[in-house]
Structure 1
């Protein structure tokens, strides 16, 4: 008698019979004999076709499985090869190097002046106090291990299974995000690498974690982790780094004195500090702190499961009311430190360097990323994190002694730069009326000509109120200080002029644009290039730029000197007088101008000389980026001409204020319309210093300086240069004057024409031209023969006036005149176009008005009616909307309003 079958046995037999049915085999009588399916019964045919299908699927599956095995092997091989290549490329850090990095408690970047002179550390609200292993509660150590890395004492820095699980989750999107990082890996990430999760950085992280585990004991690694990890905020609202400050800020205890419940709460914070911390940003307790308390209980359970605590300890710790132990809000002590402009500048410059490095490491284009707001913000945050967490040393080029001297001299000169302006404004915070005083601000940069290093600077007045750095961060109209770089330098380089080339200074209109010299004047004569630059006459500069634009590319030179303007700006003649759309910075001006003192070579300016990690490894070195913009002969000739600005031109008042000979200095002044911006840039063979003064014009104000401001700025410049010379005279390199290159030719020419003596046709007859001669410097060429039209610019009428005067007629040649605003057509001047009308009578010249900064409407005065003209012109309501712009530069709650325009008359 058979034993009764269980339900399980019956189920197995049923499946067996089903399997036998569907695995029926049809055997051939012999190898040659085949089975005709049509001769089989219906069920036999079903079984036959099913069997064939299954056999085919088995074959396909075997092939697919083989392919997957080969593919997996290939993938593992490639992965191991990639890992091996990284291992071979990665420099093996020494024990001491890793020790310095992981034990460095001051994680924010350290800033240095030049000569390894410590400035301080990057200001951050993260507070940290490192402690030793015996100063940390054993409960806290166990809680961290049980929560963050339960196999900490068994693995060798990494857990391969956990890494594989995390990798599979990342690739497939399946499963939970487990991370796969050990405490050792997390320490590497916090102290050595960035937190970005690229495969390359992850591979390097694994390599370094294994090395770290090999170099240090588990106790050392755990202690360093507990000193490095972040733990949310304390009762002062500060970010907390390390367990000592976490214990003090939460429970007013040292880390060694924490009990089990307190240790579990702190151990739960690193997973998500912002979520689990009980404090808000202002230091007050959150209304709902349940997330942190629940997390504490999770930590306790893991400690219990890990056999770190008993069941009774677990139950007792769960019942502890930690809310009653949290400390009440207190105010942090305010930090008072100097060198605010320097701190901010180094921070910005270092962050920008790291941003570019991170972008390059990811194989992306810097320009493209910077144009993408989201991508740029990602790299900005990564770079900022590196500065605040990796203990970098940022070495600047700023010399503390020179910087201090400049601040003292600037402070002493401040009251004499101009009057302060007080007005009633609406407070941006309270929205109530309040009194606001605006001072004349200044920005100054001292630059080493040969290296491009910024040696010192003045960022402005009163950093505590106005953090805007006027030396680096504001862009203002350069006025005539742009003429050497934009007009005269390129003209000499292209052999368009020599030092004595004559340029027209007569009334002229360029399709409605009427330039005038300073004070609406016209010289009514031909002027040598040297005198035109020394006295900063505007009409010659515009005439010369107009001639340059007919075949030469001035944009090339400006770009190579670090000043980038638009094609539209270059196309407008007002650019020759500083009529830019957005303006230029003081640093840009100093850097571009230094090209002439550096024999035509431009060196990219820099503030950061190098950045190192805590081990001393250099991760950035300032490149020596040099570009030969002008030939040595051009630089030498420009030095000759620019020295005239100081000896007999617009900056001649410096001659009795300098601590050294005026022959050792070249310079250029600049004044924009209505005295809105005042400049002076000066160079010795060693250094260049540029200074700017003006109002910020916050809140839409339109304050301007007065006529004496240019002299005030020159006095300010000389006071600073005198203080610097007393501190370090060697840096001026006064004994290293440039020697005259062989390509610079000299000859004597006629003072009146800038040419050789000779004959011309005058009034239908030959006339011999001779007279007083002067020395001229040429860029590898010879002086030209005299001709009737010998200069640059000027009309037939202008040359007739000149030659009549030259041969003895009494006329108005060389008599300075002023535009009056009265404008009529002159039928005798055939080159004058219809849109450009002026009238010459008794030394008076008319114009539509002075094109000032910004957009002016209805500024022309009077009725322009001329009964002798076929047209009757009434310009009383004439509106001119030039290429003006309100360029707003915002810092904090203040907005700096810098008005610039592209059409200028009154610059010098």
Structure 2
């Protein structure tokens, strides 16, 4: 090992090779063992200078950092609203942390179901032992602090800027009350600052007894002997020891006081309510609590020792069964509102972490994570969820469906694989109906089903001919292909790999006006028109803007879409929502059921905002209203006229029937509301039941009862007596009833025909254009043979079969 002298000699030798004096400086003496103290002094002086500079830099950086932190803190404080004393008092007293659900106008619906049960008591009814144990364990200077622990502030700052540690344990009881009652489960610096602000304010306005009482009533404490999650000392006392909180002894109190640190670890019960085989973790925690009580002077040494000897295992209650009541009169509303609220909150949480809806759509695990977090908020944070559903309207609609006879109920028997016994299943005709506000899209009322839990306003089914206004006639008018009286061909078709007939296999064998074709729901004219319009317009853009997003590329490629032929179908809510477009000046607003969400502090954290999407021009909308009214006036829904208790002069709608009567629809709208009704069998267990041929009339009668029931409750919202004024872009022309074009002379195959007023005229409406004089080929669809037949018939050959209805061997039930 080298001696210090030799070590220094080596150092001096190295320095000597590097020291080079400037030309104006006197060279330092040569390094040697005699002059090394001089050089050592130089090194030490340089080191001291470096240290001074480093300290100065650190000090300046520290001051700058403190200033930056102070500014950051101040910015958060200035942008954070703090609840009023009244709002805080309301939240502190509301220890029921389950979210409240409301119908419209603050009519209470229900609390969000939770397996967390809680019984509340006054502080005077809680054993003093519990109070002492909690304070000694969780916040030893509770009665003297200002509601905030300085160390928690320092820890928050360290975590924010170092990225080390995300938990905020060690908070005061007041801060824990704030976290449990007022804030979300975030662990961000902003949330910590908000927590501090709230804690200081609570400590200023409320007594320590108020704060302690709130904490002891809300803190989560593991499970009881039924396996239920419990909160509050009273619930724990009953669930663990079978006594009231005021009767707890010292060892029992110490055990309960130790639970908040890690309830799932220290609780004596399993998820099914049986006693754990190993209770050592909980008992060890109890001993820690007892020691802290002894150390703080809350108990004597003898009390400490006696309490440790107490046989807790023998004191715990035995396993018990739980009786849960999961039924509710408003199950459909409850499930609908909670599901929507959970989705809204999940998206908010995701956005806080920098995720988008697209991220959630493509990552199922991530989506489920945020949905679970949202569910936790709903069951623990005491939100208020305000829905758009009118309780009185909803109740009236349930009365209608309860007394309705929608068709035959099938029954079947099969062996239960678990019991080996025969069980009988019944399958009734199900219904999904929804009533929407045309302007806002708000769900006013609905029928989720005849029985079961499935909400049928969300199930997707073939829309049948109810899709014609949206996919065929609306786009055709918008793109100047037709006016209201434009002629469409209804002859035997010759499409490649596709044949179609009207309802019942009929073929009209004539040209029919667009209005009559829609009113009578003829299929061949609709397919002819769709074949034409899809070559000139993007049909998908119209349907997606109207809120229908479940159709596939294959759907759009098929002519059958004109009649509702789809891979998966359309939901009742989406179809109703799309129809509101025709009563909202051509604009679409998405259907919604959550109006706003309010946090425990009274802050609105979500407010629905109505957004309009232009689908059709005002002119197209007006023309479609006139055409769709004829469905009710003289078409497939004409029976409604004598069944409704309100003015039908402005009622529009469309029926729909899918193949083999699997799905029956009617969507009707007044200027104020739209009501859609679907009926059909679920066929969920492999059955293939169909409705009867009279099901359309059954559904229309049922729709009328629903509409009448709602009208009795909210007549003003129907706006039944209002009508839309014709926009300036709606052009009208007097046209021939035979051709749908202006009268005049036509030459066909060398023969002249005079299409005059003698054949009858009618007013036709157009979207900002006017038709020309009749030409030889005046309709959409139809072959040369069809035109030959028409002109011969017009010329006097009345026996050539034109207009004679025939029946094809291929029958269609679409209507």
| 1:393 equivalenced with 2:384 (yes/no) | yes
Which runs of structure 2 are paired with 1:482-501 in the superposition (5 Å)?
482-501=467-486
Aligned equivalent of 1:340: 331
Residue deviations 1:514-542 (CA, integer Å, cap 9, x gap): 23322233222211101111111122112
Aligned equivalent of 2:512: 527
CA distance in 2, matches of 1:727, 1:232: 47
CA distance in 2, matches of 1:201, 1:165: 13
Out of 743, 767, 774, the position equivalent to 2:729 is: 743
8 Å Cα contact 1:194-1:382 kept in structure 2:
no
| 1:373 equivalenced with 2:364 (yes/no) | yes
Aligned equivalent of 1:232: 222
Aligned equivalent of 1:588: 574
- Judge which range, 82-91 or 266-275, deviates more: 266-275
Out of 398, 405, 409, the position equivalent to 2:400 is: 409
Residue deviations 1:291-314 (CA, integer Å, cap 9, x gap): 222221121122222222222111
- How far the C-alpha of 1:751 sits from its partner, in A, is 1.0
| 1:441 equivalenced with 2:430 (yes/no) | yes
CA distance in 1, matches of 2:602, 2:166: 40
Aligned equivalent of 1:358: 349
Residue deviations 1:72-95 (CA, integer Å, cap 9, x gap): 443333222111101001113221
Distance change in 2, residues 1:426/1:305 (3 Å) = farther
- How far the C-alpha of 1:167 sits from its partner, in A, is 4.9
CA distance in 2, matches of 1:354, 1:431: 44
- How far the C-alpha of 1:68 sits from its partner, in A, is 4.3
Out of 610, 623, 628, the position equivalent to 1:624 is: 610
- SS class of match (1:664): coil
8 Å Cα contact 2:83-2:602 kept in structure 1:
no
Out of 635, 659, 663, the position equivalent to 1:673 is: 659
- SS class of match (1:519): coil
Aligned equivalent of 2:632: 646
Distance change in 2, residues 1:176/1:573 (3 Å) = closer
Residue deviations 1:665-697 (CA, integer Å, cap 9, x gap): 211111111111110011122221100011111
- The TM-score normalised by the length of structure 1 is 0.83
8 Å Cα contact 1:163-1:179 kept in structure 2:
no
8 Å Cα contact 2:492-2:501 kept in structure 1:
yes
Residue deviations 1:684-739 (CA, integer Å, cap 9, x gap): 22221100011111122222212111111111111222223334433322221223
Distance change in 2, residues 1:752/1:174 (3 Å) = closer
8 Å Cα contact 2:650-2:722 kept in structure 1:
no
Distance change in 2, residues 1:54/1:424 (3 Å) = farther
Question: Where in structure 1 are there 5+ consecutive unaligned residues?
Answer: 1-13, 822-849, 851-904
8 Å Cα contact 2:159-2:165 kept in structure 1:
yes
Aligned equivalent of 1:478: 463
Which runs of structure 2 are paired with 1:860-879 in the superposition (5 Å)?
none
8 Å Cα contact 1:165-1:180 kept in structure 2:
no
8 Å Cα contact 2:523-2:563 kept in structure 1:
yes
Aligned equivalent of 1:34: 27
Residue deviations 1:317-341 (CA, integer Å, cap 9, x gap): 1111111121223334443531111
Distance change in 2, residues 1:582/1:612 (3 Å) = same
Out of 52, 60, 82, the position equivalent to 2:72 is: 82
Distance change in 2, residues 1:535/1:428 (3 Å) = farther
CA distance in 1, matches of 2:567, 2:20: 95
Aligned equivalent of 1:317: 307
- The TM-score normalised by the length of structure 2 is 0.92
- How far the C-alpha of 1:650 sits from its partner, in A, is 1.3
Out of 513, 535, 542, the position equivalent to 1:550 is: 535
- How far the C-alpha of 1:214 sits from its partner, in A, is 2.2
CA distance in 2, matches of 1:18, 1:204: 63
8 Å Cα contact 2:29-2:35 kept in structure 1:
no
Out of 289, 294, 310, the position equivalent to 2:284 is: 294
Distance change in 2, residues 1:23/1:80 (3 Å) = farther
Distance change in 2, residues 1:502/1:18 (3 Å) = same
- SS class of match (2:498): coil
Distance change in 2, residues 1:64/1:752 (3 Å) = farther
| 1:697 equivalenced with 2:604 (yes/no) | no
Which runs of structure 2 are paired with 1:56-75 in the superposition (5 Å)?
66-75=56-65
Aligned equivalent of 1:613: 599
Aligned equivalent of 1:455: 444
- Judge which range, 205-214 or 726-735, deviates more: 726-735
- Judge which range, 144-153 or 240-249, deviates more: 144-153
CA distance in 2, matches of 1:745, 1:467: 50
- How far the C-alpha of 1:494 sits from its partner, in A, is 2.2
- How far the C-alpha of 1:190 sits from its partner, in A, is 0.8
CA distance in 2, matches of 1:533, 1:664: 17
Aligned equivalent of 1:907: 814
Aligned equivalent of 1:880: none
- Judge which range, 381-390 or 242-251, deviates more: 381-390
CA distance in 2, matches of 1:219, 1:20: 71
8 Å Cα contact 1:166-1:179 kept in structure 2:
no
- SS class of match (1:127): strand
Residue deviations 1:483-532 (CA, integer Å, cap 9, x gap): 11121112222222111111112232443122332223322221110111
Out of 259, 262, 265, the position equivalent to 2:255 is: 265
Distance change in 2, residues 1:323/1:543 (3 Å) = same
Question: Where in structure 2 are there 5+ consecutive unaligned residues?
Answer: none
CA distance in 1, matches of 2:284, 2:381: 32
Aligned equivalent of 1:873: none
- How far the C-alpha of 1:349 sits from its partner, in A, is 1.6
- How far the C-alpha of 1:805 sits from its partner, in A, is 2.1
How many equivalent pairs are there? Answer: 804
- How far the C-alpha of 1:284 sits from its partner, in A, is 2.3
| 1:818 equivalenced with 2:813 (yes/no) | no
Out of 796, 799, 802, the position equivalent to 1:808 is: 796
Residue deviations 1:746-770 (CA, integer Å, cap 9, x gap): 3321111101111222112433223
CA distance in 2, matches of 1:767, 1:175: 91
CA distance in 2, matches of 1:126, 1:23: 73
Aligned equivalent of 2:111: 121
| 1:757 equivalenced with 2:762 (yes/no) | no
Aligned equivalent of 1:780: 768
- Judge which range, 746-755 or 616-625, deviates more: 616-625
8 Å Cα contact 2:572-2:678 kept in structure 1:
yes
Aligned equivalent of 1:214: 204
Out of 86, 94, 108, the position equivalent to 1:104 is: 94
| 1:799 equivalenced with 2:787 (yes/no) | yes
8 Å Cα contact 1:278-1:286 kept in structure 2:
yes
8 Å Cα contact 2:182-2:601 kept in structure 1:
no
Residue deviations 1:420-465 (CA, integer Å, cap 9, x gap): 2223456476587633221111011111223322111111123xxx
Distance change in 2, residues 1:101/1:17 (3 Å) = farther
- How far the C-alpha of 1:344 sits from its partner, in A, is 1.0
CA distance in 1, matches of 2:441, 2:164: 54
Residue deviations 1:808-830 (CA, integer Å, cap 9, x gap): 23322222333336xxxxxxxxx
8 Å Cα contact 1:441-1:460 kept in structure 2:
yes
Aligned equivalent of 1:282: 272
- SS class of match (1:800): helix
8 Å Cα contact 1:459-1:470 kept in structure 2:
yes
Aligned equivalent of 2:556: 570
8 Å Cα contact 1:143-1:299 kept in structure 2:
yes
- Judge which range, 539-548 or 620-629, deviates more: 620-629
8 Å Cα contact 1:440-1:693 kept in structure 2:
yes
Distance change in 2, residues 1:177/1:56 (3 Å) = farther
Aligned equivalent of 1:164: 154
